[in-house]
Structure 1
């Protein structure tokens, strides 16, 4: 269950950057929270509100360890996410993510 939640959390992520033109930690946290809300809503449609509530994840902090611009407005970053999931509790996971800047803000990139 922990792998599913963090896999979805990190897979839904977008790239961030320690550079001034790249995303900030708060940008990434907001993106992750929005992606988790979308996932929760989809699960709620399939399994009801109780199932959706059981899988709700609280993101406490996002830390950027490094970030490199791969091409114009696309960043590959090493991030650490401190989050609490109802089934697994609180943990810190580190992963590499890719983000791209769009007209609407930061989005997931590949």
Structure 2
């Protein structure tokens, strides 16, 4: 019986520690892609039928370099992103929400 209690405790600790982990590269990509999609939606709503493909942006890749914990639910991550074949390195702040990670502006 004692063995089962220890196993349960260790399993619970591992599961809970996963809740506070930093965002993965894929999660950062998804959060940044939401911003790109929102920006494209605004452009489409403003330009209407005059939207051309070169007016819209595409997030090609995101490479996570490192992340620093800022609070229980937020991390500042250094990433290199390729948007429309333009490579940029920057720090982005992400916060964990019920809907996953989101990029926030500070």
TM over 0.5: yes
The residue aligned with 1:39 is: 39
CA distance in 2, matches of 1:108, 1:60: 17
Question: Contact 1:80–1:94 (CA<8 Å) still a contact in 2?
Answer: yes
Larger radius of gyration: 2
Give 1:52 deviation, angstroms.
Answer: 5.8
Greater CA deviation, 33-42 or 96-105? 33-42
Cα distance in 1 for partners of 2:86, 2:30 equals 19
The answer on whether the counterparts of 2:81 and 2:89 sit within 8 Å (CA) in structure 1 is: yes
Partner of 1:81: 81
- Aligned partners of 1:50, 1:33: CA distance in 2, in Å? 23
Aligned pair partner of 2:97 in 98, 102, 107:
102
> Could you list the runs of 5+ residues in structure 2 that have no partner in the other structure?
1-19
Rounded Cα–Cα distance in structure 2 between residues aligned with 1:32 and 1:52: 22
Name stretches of at least 5 consecutive residues in structure 1 with no aligned partner. Answer: 1-19, 85-89
Look up the match of 2:63: 63
**With CA pairs under 8 Å and 6+ residues apart, which has the higher RCO, 1 or 2?**
1
Q: Kindly indicate which of the two structures has a greater share of residues assigned to strand.
A: 1
Say whether the 8 Å CA contact 1:41–1:52 is kept in structure 2. no
Structure number with the higher helix fraction is 2
Query: Bigger CA drift: 23-32 or 44-53?
Result: 44-53
1:18-33 aligned at under 5 Å gives the runs 21-33=21-33
